[in-house]
């Protein structure tokens, strides 16, 4: 069974190079899947220019290798009102049992539909990796998204995070985000978005549930980046 879903994932990802990703709420995906987990999650990103993006999602992990989610997105451009902009169906597939190998690996697949403009569909595919030690966790993502329209180009996004397992309620770290541009020409690095800054994760056990949080504040490194961006992610996990 695992060989079959790994093969299917590899085939799905083989189309990645032919895949454009509008800037989305910066999130770092772990390839680790917890079987039976059900959760309600809220993600928000606000940058120094006043642009906002918010996502509300419902997720469930029916197996030890698959997490599936449905979510809605609301955006606000500077000086404009917030509006719903997208609905999505997102999946994370784990490619190896957690902790068995040097790194946990997985793939991300998301199909989304715009709620404005041409109401185009878009497909995002990504590779996920995570290496853990007794005291640290390093997570790396690389993905590409393309509108399913003739002539659309693939836009590549990368993210990475290192965190220290200080205590369950507070794990400080550093994270990095990049919008690399579109293929086949990514353009000059100063036109790309590269940001880095401190982050923190943690979880609190509650009666019948677990509240998880992620928070980060990253600073732009290039002319194409916002001066700073803050993000907050809250997840209410049901037991």
pLDDT digits (tens, 9 = 90+) for 134-181: 999 999 999 999 999 999 999 999 999 999 999 999 999 999 999 999
Q: Encoding tokens for residue 201?
A: 């994760």
Question: Per the structure, how many domains does the chain have?
Answer: 1
User: What residues does 157 pair with on adjacent strands?
Assistant: 143, 179
What pLDDT is recorded for position 6? 43
Q: Encoding tokens for residue 140?
A: 């790396």
Whichever domain contains 148, its CATH number is: 2.40.160.40
**How many degrees, rounded to 5, is the angle at CA 218 between CA 216 and CA 220?**
165
Mean of pLDDT values over 58-82: 95
Q: What is the pLDDT of residues 28-43, one digit of tens each?
A: 999 999 999 999 999 9
Q: Encoding tokens for residue 44?
A: 């928000």
Average pLDDT over the chain reads 90
Mean of pLDDT values over 58-83: 95
Biggest CA-to-CA distance, the chain: 52
Tell me the three state secondary structure of residue 12: helix
d(C-alpha 158, C-alpha 21), whole Å: 11
* Residue-range definition of the domain harbouring residue 197: 2-238
Residue recorded with tokens 């199909």: 111
Q: Encoding tokens for residue 203?
A: 């979880």
Point out the least confidently predicted range of 5-9, 87-91, 209-213.
5-9
Mean of pLDDT values over 207-214: 96
pLDDT band for position 201 (cuts 50, 70, 90): very high
Residue 122 has pLDDT above 60, yes or no: yes
Residue recorded with tokens 């093969």: 7
pLDDT band for position 239 (cuts 50, 70, 90): confident
Q: Encoding tokens for residue 171?
A: 């794990």
Rg (CA), the chain: 17
């Amino acid at each position: 069974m695992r060989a079959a879903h790994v093969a299917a994932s590899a085939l799905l990802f083989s189309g990645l190079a032919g895949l454009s990703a509008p800037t989305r709420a910066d999130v770092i995906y772990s390839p680790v899947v917890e079987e039976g987990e059900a959760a309600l999650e809220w993600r928000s990103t606000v940058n120094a220019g006043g642009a906002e993006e918010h996502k509300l999602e419902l997720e469930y992990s029916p197996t030890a290798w698959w997490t599936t989610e449905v979510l809605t997105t609301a955006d606000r451009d500077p000086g404009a009102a917030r509006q719903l902009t997208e609905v999505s169906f997102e999946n994370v597939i784990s490619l190896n049992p957690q902790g068995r190998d040097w790194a946990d690996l997985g793939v991300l697949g998301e199909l989304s539909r715009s709620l404005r403009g041409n109401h185009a569909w878009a497909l995002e595919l990504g590779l996920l990796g995570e290496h853990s030690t007794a005291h640290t966790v390093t997570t790396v993502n690389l993905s590409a998204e393309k509108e399913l329209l003739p002539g659309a180009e693939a836009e590549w996004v990368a993210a990475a995070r290192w965190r220290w397992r200080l205590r369950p309620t507070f794990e400080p770290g550093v994270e990095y985000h990049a919008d690399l541009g579109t293929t086949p020409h990514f353009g000059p690095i100063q036109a790309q978005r590269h940001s880095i800054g401190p982050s923190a994760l943690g979880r609190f056990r509650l009666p019948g549930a677990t509240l998880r949080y992620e928070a980060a504040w990253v600073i732009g490194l290039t002319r194409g980046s916002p001066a700073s961006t803050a993000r907050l992610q809250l997840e209410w996990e049901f037991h």
